[in-house]
Chains A and B, each alone.
Chain A
Amino acid sequence: MHAPLPPPAAPLLRLAQVTKRFAAHTAVDAVSLDLASGEFVCLLGPSGCGKSTLLRLLAGFETPDSGTIHLDGADLTALPPHRRPVNMMFQSYALFPHLSVAGNVGYGLKGLGLSRAALQERVGGLLQLVRLDGFAARKPETLSGGQRQRVALARALAREPRLLLLDEPLSALDRALREETQGELRAIQRRLGTSFVVVTHDPAEAMALADRVGVMERGRLVQVGPARTLYERPASRFVAGLLGDVNLIEGRLGPAVPGAVRSVETALGPIRAGGEGEAGAAVVVAIRPERLGIGGEGGSDATELSGTLAEATFLGDRLRYRVTMADGTVLRASAPLPITGPAPSVGAAVTVAIPAESARILPA
């Protein structure tokens, strides 16, 4: 289903048709993905979609039933975790409770033949990187959630992996800290040039962090691309709904015409939207609430429909509208504040403009 992307010149990581089954359940289903060196990729999906299993396959805690995993051209598929140049940051952080912060961060450096002084210097540098200098002697149980998260990150980065895997790295933090940490994570990744694969169920986090987002649905990687592409040009209703609120209007696709814009017959009348498909196919028109023009400001190629404003909610930075159309369909719209011109009043007749370039035709 996903649009084929041109593979990077020499991918750092290449997953080819990787499949993992647990009894009758296929957790990861024929996933193929290339990752460039220095790239930040988020795997996004609801719980149980197979994203964590995919991460565990990369780390080596699970072995695929079929398919191959290559890193830098070398086959990793059958290597045990301790022989892979890949490190992982666990969702629970998995800090060793009997070791100090320095002991945790330095754990992966033992056995690399470093002198005591060199090891201490490396640990010191890593603690500085995550802004935890002075915490070296502390035990994990004495740290706050945010500090533990940073110890886990420093520990995972200690061996300078080519690829770092992060399983829901921010899910245990509260909201304010999460946004701050997103920026830090991004900055550290840029500075080190390490490739990151992050698993998350939070679309806002995926969009904030990643160069590319891969959406997983029931074990399959259904669409991969930059967050903006996934948000504006989703390949399916699932992807459209996962990345944000969306209005879905069912209909039948009209005949093919030159150009990218087609007409869809819906209960609200014909709607012009972008996309492909066979004439007569059952489709949905997907339109984001913020792309709907209330009061008829839809640009040159917009479908204008009339309805009644049922509700207007003040949300601080924007107004959220609910508009009841002639057939009873409710469309959700939102407008950034402050709005120009007179605000429509509840109960009044309004014109809803659907700009063709923002409306997508998706398989029903």
Chain B
Amino acid sequence: MSLFARATLVLALAFLYAPILVLVAYSFNASKLVTVWGGVSTRWYGVLFADGPLIAAALVSLKVALLSAAIASVLGTLAALALDRHGRFVGRGAYTGLLYAPMVMPEVITGLSLLLLFVGIGLERGVATLVIAHATFATGFVAVVVGARLKGFDRTLEEAAADLGATPARVFTGITLPLIAPSVAAGFLLAFTLSLDDLVIASFVSGPGATTLPMRLYSQVRLGVSPEINAASTLMIATVGLVVLAASWLTARRGRGA
């Protein structure tokens, strides 16, 4: 790599990650003042774990993320299978578009429309509505990830299993599902991080007693940034980073053999 290319790369990475690095560094700041460096300390992590409402919000976020990712994984996988397997049925293009639309829809619109729906059908806002809302927009992402895997899937494997006496259900559970499992898992992790990150949609559809971690952080920041927020954010970055790494490892693994 030439010196110029190397310098460009470093600058670009700095542009992308400098703010995050600053945040991570300040989360270890001993000083009570966010912008004044007072030495290295993990004191704010202690404060963070003693903050009852914040921990409760984190638990709500985790619960919503796990449930909505599970639902999105099932629905997204089924949608990808339907679009891949049933050839050129009438309205195939329209279905594909409808499935992908929530991914590009402004979150404000998604959130508002879901709020109107929930109010319209009289569903009380809380964890349930959060789960439904997050599953709704994550389903399209799962369908994209699983659909990409299905494009390269060798259908003769399914024919071979059927030829060996396997019923369609056994073909699916014994052959198709194990072989697309890495992409389903990658889709699950993607849906999980999307749910964990979401603030806009959650603000619309959540109710009393169902405050997610981003909502809690956002409301605290409006009262002023405390070093504790930096610590919480650092932990979130670490969680999301790990999940994304796991997802990309699963996606890369599917290329080899399996």
Contacts and interface: CB of A to CB of B under 8 A. Distances in A.
B237 interface: no
Given A98-B178, A98-B258, A82 B162 contact: yes
A59 B257 contact: no
Given A111-B170, A141-B257, A96 B163 contact: no
A82 B167 contact: yes
B219 interface: no
A61 interface: yes
Contact of B179 (A80, A82, A87, A97): A97
Contacts of A156: 163
Interface string B24-47: 000000000000000000000000
Given A96-B175, A97-B257, A98-B258, A90 B164 contact: no
A201 B156 CA distance: 20
Contacts of B175: 96
Interface in B147-186: 154, 156-157, 159-168, 170, 174-175, 178-179
B159 A61 contact: yes
Interface in A130-162: 139, 141, 155-156, 158-159
Contact of A159 (B154, B165, B170, B174): B165
Contacts of B157: 94, 96-97
A60 B232 CA distance: 59
Nearest to A111: B165
A71 interface: no
Q: Classify the interface of chain A: helix, strand, loop or mixed.
A: loop
A108 B179 contact: no
A82 B172 CA distance: 13
Category for how many chain B residues contact A: 20 to 34
A92 interface: yes
Nearest to B155: A94
Contacts of B166: 82, 107, 111
Contacts of B168: 82
Contact of A87 (B164, B167, B257): B164
A112 B161 CA distance: 14
Residue of B154, B157, B165, B175 with most partner-chain A CB within 10 A:
B165
A328 B211 CA distance: 95
Contacts of B170: 111
A159 B257 contact: no
B159 A97 contact: no
A90 B156 contact: yes
Contacts of A141: 257
A80 B170 CA distance: 14
Interface in B94-150: none
A98 B159 contact: no
A158 B164 contact: yes
Nearest to A139: B257
Contact of A92 (B154, B161, B162, B179): B154
Contact of B162 (A81, A96, A112, A159): A81
A51 to B, nearest CB: 17
Nearest to A140: B257
B184 to A, nearest CB: 14
A141 B256 CA distance: 10
B243 to A, nearest CB: 24
Which 7 pairs between the two chains have the least Cβ-Cβ distance? A108-B164, A94-B160, A94-B156, A81-B162, A141-B257, A82-B162, A88-B163
Given A96-B175, A108-B164, 14 more contacts: A60-B162, A82-B164, A82-B165, A87-B163, A87-B164, A94-B154, A97-B179, A97-B257, A97-B258, A107-B166, A107-B174, A111-B170, A156-B163, A158-B164
10 contacts: A59-B159, A82-B163, A92-B154, A96-B157, A97-B179, A107-B164, A107-B174, A111-B166, A139-B257, A141-B257
Interface of B: 154, 156-157, 159-168, 170, 174-175, 178-179, 257-258
Interface of A: 59-61, 80-82, 86-88, 90, 92, 94, 96-98, 107-108, 111-112, 139, 141, 155-156, 158-159
